[in-house]
Amino acid sequence: MIKRLVPVLAAGLLIAASAGCSSSSQSPAPAGQQKIMVFAAASLKQTFTKIGDQFSKDNPGASVEFSFAGSSDLVTQLTQGAHADVFASADTKNMDKAAQAGLLAGSPVNFASNTLTIAVAPGNPKSINAFQDLTKPGLNVVVCAPQVPCGSATQTVETKTGIKLTPVSEESSVTDVLNKVTSGQADAGVVYVTDAAGAGDKVAAVSFPEAAGAVNTYPIATLKGSGNSSLAQKFVDTVTGPAGQQILTQAGFGKP
């Protein structure tokens, strides 16, 4: 009888040990950990990712998750009930929409500005040297859609110069425009100087003086629906503080 009990007891111990291992591997995150969600304009992806790392270092146990897209798309998502703690727009127009929808917890703060440039293939094979050159016959040009901040700024340049572009496509975010150029699907794209700089040697940037008349200002605000308004405000403070401003400046953003 004793010999028969030994394997049964051993099997029971193995099952208990296995259950213990399974339980520990699926254990919840430590209670001290906190996370916030930030909706941010697509042109902020590289800089906000770095600022997010700095934020986590400055606030042990806290982390930030991002959703990057065109500012107009983000506002639409927020008005339709999407959850976020912070919203950073690439223009004041879309932030105003968020305010009018009653989404903001307080007044937005302007933290950066950005200017347009023309992204072309390395070496500028199509010899594009001015905004006017984007109207050359046979040239495949892409721009942002009018409701997107970079698209609105492009339209401003068109209106002020009287130069009408005929793009082959209008994209929902500035990163989509840049991707069309880097992938060879377009000869040129109107993007922000920061996006062209962030692409490194994948593109060449052609500046044009008319861009000075269509500078976009970037505002940021905490949202009423935040589950952690204190932590959300700390992220805003990181963006507007010395650390965040240094990262933005290094990426080519201007002061608001």
Known binding residues for molybdate: 43, 71, 174, 192
Contacts 24+ apart (CB under 8 A), 126-135: 126/187, 126/188, 128/187, 128/188, 128/206, 129/206, 130/206, 130/208, 131/157, 131/161, 131/163, 131/208, 131/210, 131/211, 132/161, 132/163, 134/163, 134/165, 134/188, 134/190, 135/163, 135/164, 135/165, 135/166
Other beta carbons less than 10 A from residue 138's beta carbon: 6
Say how far apart CA 156 and CA 158 lie, in whole Å: 5
Query: Which residues fall in the annotated binding site?
Result: 43, 71, 174, 192
